[in-house]
A and B are shown apart, each in its own frame.
Chain A
Amino acid sequence: MDKKKKENSIEEFTNQEYKWGFHTDIEQEMVPKGLNEDIIRLISKKKNEPQFLLDFRLKAYRHWLTMTQPHWSHLDIPRIDFNDIIYYAEPKKKKEVRSLDEIDPEILETYKKLGIPLEEQKALSGIAVDAVFDSVSVGTTYSKMLGEQGIIFCSFSEAVHTHPELIKEYLGSVVPWRDNYFATLNSAVFTDGSFCYIPKGVKCPIELSTYFRINAKGTGQFERTLIIADEGSQVSYLEGCTAPQRDENQLHAAVVELFAHKDAKIKYSTVQNWYPGDKNGVGGIFNFVTKRGKCDGDNSKISWTQVETGSAITWKYPGCILKGDNSIGEFYSIAVTNNHQQADTGTKMIHLGKNTSSTIISKGVSAGKAQNSYRGMVRTSPNAINARNFSQCDSLLIGDQCGAHTFPYIDSKGSTATIEHEATTSKISDQQLFYLQQRGIDPEDAVTMIVNGFCKEVLNELPMEFAVEARKLLGVSLEGTVG
C-alpha cells in the first residue's frame, strides 16, 4: 500500500453507501406545490385545526415574507425555490387509523426495514416510539401505558385536539415564530411531530422516541416537537431520522422546543442520518433546524446530545436558555462529514439566572472534501452571578482535503462569570492506523475505532441502545476514507 494509492483511495470514497436510501411505494395525498396563504389554510384545514393555530401560522407566514434567506460564511447553500416544494404529504389512509393494527402494512414494513418495529409487542424494549412518515405521525407505541402515569406522548396534531390549552400556552414560548428564517417558515407550514408532557414529579419510566422518515419526492419536512417537563419531572427523549436516496435536495426545517419547569430534567438525544447526497455532492437533505430548550425553573436541567452523520448541509445550534437559578445546560455533539457534506453546528448557552452552568463538548470529524464547523455562543447576562461555562471543541481530520473550523462567540457581561474554552485539531495519524493494523485490525475498523475513541465522551452520554447504533453509524459514515 504505497502513499499514492492511499491518497487515491482517500479521494474515492466509492464504498460509501447509504443503507437507508430505499423508497416506499405508497399512495400519497399531497397538497399542490408552492407556498401561499391558501396552502397554509389548506394544511390547517386538513388537520382540522383550531383558529388560534391558523392565526399563528398566518402571522408567521406574513412575517416570513419580509425576511431573506440568511447567508453563512462557511456554508455554501444553493438558492432554495420555496415555491418548488410540496408542503404537505401524507400516506393515503384507507380509513381513520385508530390503533397500530390499522397502520398501512407498507409503512410498518418500512419501519421494520429501518430497524424500528412499531408493533407494540415487538417494540424496542423500554422505548416508546412515535413515527413520523413525511408530514404525519403514523403511530405512537406505549401511549396507553404512559397515559396511566399522566404522561402525554402523542403526535403534535393529536395534541392540538386533545390538549389545545397546552399547545396554546407553550407553542412558540421557547422558539418564537419570528425567531429566524427557517423557524418562521416552520411556524407557518409545520405539519406534524411529537408532543410530550410529563406531569409534576413524574419520572418517565421509559425512553421516548420519535423516528422521522422522509419518503415522498419533492416534499419538505417541517416537523414541530414540543416537550414540557413539569416541576420535578424527568424525561429522556430520542430522535432518529432517515430519508430515501434521491438526486434532488430536500428541505427539512424542524423546530424543537423544550420547556423545563423547576427541578425538571430533560435529556434530548438525536441521531441524525438523513441522506447525505452522493460522493459528488448530488442530492441530500438540507437540514436547517432550530432546537432550543428553556430551563425556566430553578434547578432545572436540559441536556442535548447529538450525533450528526447525515444530510448534505446541516445547520443547527441546539441551545439552552438558563433562566432559572442553578439551572444547567449541556451540549454534547458529534458531527461527522464526508465527501461534500457541510455541517455548521454548535450551541447557544444563554445564562440569565444565578449560578447557572453550561458544558459544551463538541467533536467534529471530517473526511473527503467535507467542511465541518463548530459555531457556539455563550452569553452571560449581568444578573447571571457566578455563571460558569466550560467548552471543549475537538476536531479530527481524515485526509487532507477536508476542513474544520471553530467559531466560539463569548458575550460575557457579568464579570463574575467563569468561561473556559479549549479547542484542539488533530489528524488520524498513519502511525495510529499502522499500529492497529499491525494488531490484525483492518483499516476501516481501525478508523472507526479511532473515531469512536475520539468521540467517546459524547457517545457515553447517549442512552445505551442508541450508543450501539451510533457507534455503527460512525463506521458506516466513514467507510472508504482510507485505503
Chain B
Amino acid sequence: MQELQEREESRIGIYVCHCGSNIGGVVDCEGVAAYGQTLPDVIVSRHEGYLCSEPGQNQIKTDIQEQRLNRIVVASCSPRLHEPTFRKCLAEAGLNPYLLEMANLREQCSWVHSHDPEGATQKSKDLVRSAVARARWLAGREEMEVPIEPATLVIGGGVAGIQAALDLADSGYRVILVEKQPSIGGIMAWLDKTFPTMDCSI
C-alpha cells in the first residue's frame, strides 16, 4: 500500500552505545558507527560509553538541534528497556518521540554471541542497517486524548461488587450497580458466621 504522506527528507543520527563493556566488550562499536555513517541519509553516527546517561542523552539532543536531525537510531539495549527513555529524550529536543528506532545490540548481539565477536559485530551492522531503513519511513504520531465519563458500571452485587461500588461512590464517581437477583449480597448473604474472624457477614 502507498504510504499516506510524502516523506520529508530524512536526516538521521545513529548512536551506538558501548553499555560499558556489555556491548563494547564484544561488538566493535566504533566499526559499527563508522559503518552507519555510510548508510543513506545518515548525517551523524557516533559511539558513546553510556547513551542512557545524561551526557549521552545530551549529545543526542544537541545533535538534533544543531544538525537538524529528524530521525534517531539508537543502537544499544532492548527497546523494551529504554525506548521510553529515548522517546522522552527526543521529545525534550523538540522531535516527535515516534521518530526513534532502536537496534538491539546487547540482548541480541553481545550477550548471546559473546564468543563470536565477528558474528556479533556483523549482526550489529545488519540491525543498524535495518533500523536506518525503517527510520527513513517513520512518521510522527500524536497520542490522541479522549474525554472519559466519570462513571462506572459494576456488574454483580456480591460482596466484591458492593465493595467496589462503595469505594467508587465515596471517591466521587457515579456508579451503576447491576444485580440480576432481587437483592444484592450474593453468596455472602447465605452465611451467618465467616472465617477467619467468625463474625457475622452482613
Q: Do A and B originate from a single complex?
A: no
